[in-house]
Amino acid sequence: MPDTIHVLNGPNLNLLGTREPAIYGAATLADVEALCRAACESHGLDLVFRQTNHEGTLVEHIQEARGACGIVLNAAAYTHTSVAVRDAIGGCGVPTVEVHLSNVFAREDFRHHSYITPVARGVICGFGPQSYVLGIAALAAGRTKPA
Ligand code: DQA
């Protein structure tokens, strides 16, 4: 478990590949998962990869990541709305990198505020699926190695 990274995805990310491709690109969520799996393997880490359209389920996915070495979280629209998701990250004690496919700061004003950022280690956005790969690399680099 300490050598596991949980990559957790929020609402509408199951539609990647067909959803607003001019913004989110052509890669599907399965493509993103394959990239994450290869990235984790290259760092000697196991991967748990999950997606939900439901806020409470995302909270449960975060709670189930307790004891893991890191979370890469794309909370999607819940980034901008959810105190519950923020509290789950704040409470689970797992280093978390917030990621977004798009550059949220180059988009509508309502996407400029994140409830997650204050409880995250850092934020990576704007690099498409590579945002996830960079998030995994950041967590792997900061990992506390067992004695
Ligand atoms: C997103 C950006 C969010 O603003 C949006 O609601 C999403 C996807 C991204 O990955 O770029 O659903 O998190």
- Tell me the CATH number at 47: 3.40.50.9100
How many domains, the chain? Answer: 1
As a whole number of angstroms, the distance between CA 93 and CA 109 comes to 30
In a domain, 39, yes or no: yes
Structural domain includes residue 99: yes
Is 66 inside any structural domain?
yes
Residue to mutate (ligand 1; options 80, 97, 100; most atoms within 8 A of CB): 100
- Six-digit token string for 97: 């990198």
Whether the Cβ atoms of residue 87 and residue 64 lie closer than 8 Å to each other: no
Q: What is the pTM assigned to this prediction?
A: 0.96
For residue range 18-69, list pLDDT tens digits in order: 999 999 999 999 999 999 999 999 999 999 999 999 999 999 999 999 999 9
In a domain, 126, yes or no: yes
d(C-alpha 55, C-alpha 53), whole Å: 7
- Number of other residues whose CB lies within 10 A of the CB of residue 83: 10
Does residue 109 lie within any of the structural domains?
Answer: yes
Query: Residue with the nearest Cα to atom 12 of ligand 1?
Result: 76
Q: Which atom of ligand 1 is nearest to the CA of 103?
A: 11
Catalytic residue among 24, 78, 115, 132: 24
Angle at 23 between CA 13 and CA 33, to 5 degrees: 35
pLDDT digits (tens, 9 = 90+) for 87-146: 999 999 999 999 999 999 999 999 999 999 999 999 999 999 999 999 999 999 998 544
State in Å: Cα 145 to ligand 1 middle: 32
At 91, phi and psi to the nearest 5? -90, -15
Residue 121 domain-assigned (yes or no): yes
Structural domain contains residue 60: yes
**Residue 22 lies in domain:** 4-142
147 in any annotated domain:
no
Query: How big, in percent rounded to 5, are the helix, strand and coil portions of the chain?
Result: 45, 20, 35
